[in-house]
Structure formats: C-alpha cells, structure tokens
C-alpha cells in the first residue's frame, strides 16, 4: 500500500535541487525541479492530468530535506505507477478490482449481536443501494462469514467500470479497493460519494465495534493509523483528479 518502511539513511539520495514547482509538461502538468521536469523510473517525463495533482506532487518534492525519502511521497509514487505500470496492466488491474467486489467487505453482514447487525444495515445498506443505482452494480448481501459468489454479470460490470477510467484514476481505484477490501467503497471514493476517512470507517465497522467492547492493542492502533494516512492520500488524489 501507500505506507512503506523508510530506507536506511545511506540508501536515500541527496536532494539535488533548490526549488520544486508544478508546471506544464508534455501537454499535461509536471513537477519542475529547478525548472527541469521530474521523470518516472522508466525515464518518461512525469506528466500529470491536472494542475491540482501536479501541485500535490510538487509539494512532496519541496518538503524533502537533505535527502529524498520516496516513502514520504505517496502522491509521487502513485503517479510513477500510473505512468510506468498501469498502462501495461489495465486488464489485470480491472480483474483485481472485480476480485475485491467478489468478496466485498460491505456484503458480509454479521449474524450477531443485534446491535452490530443494525449498525451495518444502517451504514452499509445505503452504499449498496447507491452502487446499484449509480453504478448498475447489484451485489448479493450475505449474513455471516461464509463466502458466497457474486453474480458473474456483476463482476463483469466492475471490470467494465474500471476499464472505463483513465490510468491515473484506475491506479487510485485499485489502491483504494485494496485498502478498504471493497470495490464499492473504492468507487464511492473515486466518484466523491465518500471521503477517505469515512470510507475507511465503513470498511472497518466490525473491527471498530469489537475495539469499543474489548479495547485496542498497540499493533492494531498503528495499523489503523497507517490506513488513515493512506485513506487521506487517496482522497486528495481523487479530489485533484476531479479538479479540472
């Protein structure tokens, strides 16, 4: 996911530029380091589809200190993926997102206690209704944890929706689907139906319910904090893509 361990200090390249600013690049928008365009690892110029997204990436480069720490630059890393990898893996990415829909977290309602079932029904039900109305995506609702296959037509619909997206949106979508364990929540974030934090809270409704009853250990708290940071980045990513 977006949160990654930081490399040892000896492995961090030194900052070689004074200024980092967004600017025009190859018919799009890029990050200019002392006036020169950033390139993706493949060597291609990093051309972003909106000025807002370029501004987010440029802010990450400007915030670097003596060394460049790529794990601290999630927008830049997503952009590198969108430029170098996504165009060559669109079908596989769409299938991965459909796989998330096939076991979508929002479809697995608890069979007890009653208070949790009521909470899930109140919070998840409207999102599944939205998916049916806005996306044409009908998913089967299940009580309990036993897996139940989703209709093949629904999975094909998810693939079609994913493949209709440009590379940058598709890159964000597959990361969101992985973060939330839910294609529905990923599409809701991509379309501005939900914010990143709200989608995360919905994805971990069961976990939060249990934490309220039994408490939270340090490892779980750290994992949730990482997920919140990723959710915030993805919200910014999609908002910037919708800005033009």
How crowded is residue 111: how many other Cβ atoms within 10 Å of its Cβ?
A: 13
Q: Please name every residue paired with 109 in a beta bridge, in sequence order, or none if there are none.
A: 143
Domain annotation for the chain: domains and CATH numbers: 9-72 (3.30.2180.10), 87-241 (1.10.3580.10)
For the sheet containing 20-25, what is the strand order? 20-25, 28-33, 36-37
pLDDT digit of tens for each residue in the chain (244 aa)? 575 556 555 578 999 999 999 999 988 999 999 999 999 999 999 999 999 999 999 999 999 999 999 999 999 999 999 999 999 999 999 999 999 999 999 999 999 999 999 999 999 999 999 999 999 999 999 998 788 899 999 999 999 999 999 999 999 999 999 999 999 999 999 999 999 999 999 999 999 999 988 888 889 899 999 999 999 999 999 999 999 6
CB environment 196-206: b (16+ within 10 A), e (fewer)? bebbbebbbbe
Instruction: Tell me the pTM.
Output: 0.94
Q: Exposed/middle/buried for 150, CB within 10 Å: 0-12, 13-18, 19+?
A: buried
DSSP 94-163: HHHHHHHHHT-GGGEE-S--HHHHHHHHHHHHHHHHHHHHHS------EESSS--PPPHHHHHHHHHHHH
CB environment 119-145: b (16+ within 10 A), e (fewer)? bbeeebeebbebbeeebebebeebeee
pLDDT at 5: 58
DSSP code of residue 174: H
Contact between 218 and 224 (Cβ < 8 Å): no
Contact between 107 and 144 (Cβ < 8 Å): no
With residue 32 as reference, give the H or E element that holds it.
strand 28-33
| Among the listed residues 148, 15, 166, the one whose alpha carbon sits nearest the alpha carbon of residue 79 | 166
| Among the listed residues 167, 29, 173, the one whose alpha carbon sits nearest the alpha carbon of residue 98 | 173
pLDDT at 7: 58
pLDDT at 151: 97
Q: Exposed/middle/buried for 211, CB within 10 Å: 0-12, 13-18, 19+?
A: middle
Q: Which two tokens stand for residue 72?
A: 């601290």
| Among the listed residues 128, 126, 123, 122, the one whose alpha carbon sits nearest the alpha carbon of residue 107 | 128
Rounded distance between C-alpha atoms, residue 56 and residue 53, angstroms:
5
């Amino acid at each position: 996911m977006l949160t990654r361990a930081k490399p040892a200090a000896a492995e961090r390249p030194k900052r070689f530029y004074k200024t980092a600013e967004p600017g025009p690049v190859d018919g799009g928008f890029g990050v200019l380091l002392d006036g020169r365009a950033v390139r993706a690892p493949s060597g291609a110029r990093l051309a972003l589809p909106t000025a807002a997204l370029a501004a987010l990436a440029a802010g990450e480069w400007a915030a670097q200190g003596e060394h460049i720490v790529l794990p601290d630059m999630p927008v830049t890393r997503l952009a590198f993926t969108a430029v170098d990898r996504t165009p060559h893996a669109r079908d596989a990415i769409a299938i991965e997102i459909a796989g998330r829909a096939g076991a979508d977290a929002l479809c697995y309602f608890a069979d007890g206690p009653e208070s949790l079932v009521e909470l899930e029904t109140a919070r998840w039900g409207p999102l599944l209704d939205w998916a049916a109305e806005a996306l044409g995506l009908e998913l089967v609702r299940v009580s309990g944890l036993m897996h139940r296959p989703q209709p093949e037509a629904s999975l094909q619909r998810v693939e079609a929706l994913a493949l209709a997206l440009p590379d940058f949106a598709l890159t964000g979508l597959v990361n969101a689907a992985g973060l939330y364990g839910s294609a529905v929540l990923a599409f809701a974030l991509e379309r501005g139906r939900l914010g990143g934090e709200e989608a995360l809270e919905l994805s971990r409704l069961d976990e939060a319910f249990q934490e309220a009853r039994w408490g939270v250990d340090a490892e779980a708290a750290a994992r949730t904090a990482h997920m919140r940071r990723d959710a915030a980045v993805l919200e910014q990513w999609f908002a910037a893509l919708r800005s033009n």
